[in-house]
Amino acid sequence: MPSSHVTVEQWTKMFEDIGLTDPDMHRWHELFERRHPDGHQGFLEWLQLPAERVADIRRKSAEAS
């Protein structure tokens, strides 16, 4: 039976499969953080990332905006 959880690697692979580059994905995070910071937090937690990685992604996303 397939897992109901999507890993960050699977999510990233889907982005790559539709043609997003690393800079595109960084820009996506920047927009998500700027427009919907609580949703961005929730999404990163949904991916089950460690709290330190969530904080790092959000910090880098906010700095770039």
Domain boundaries along the sequence of the chain: 8-64
- Give the global pTM: 0.86
pLDDT tens, position by position, 5-63 = 899 999 999 999 999 999 999 999 999 999 999 999 999 999 999 999 999 999 999 99
Name the phi and psi angles at 22, rounded to 5: -55, -45
Using an 8 Å Cβ cutoff, are 61 and 32 in contact?
A: yes
Whether residue 1 is predicted with pLDDT greater than 60 in this model: the reply is no
Q: What pLDDT is attached to residue 47?
A: 93
Q: Which two tokens stand for residue 10?
A: 């699977």
Q: What pLDDT is attached to residue 65?
A: 66
* Helix ranges restricted to H, the chain: 8-17, 22-35, 37-46, 51-64
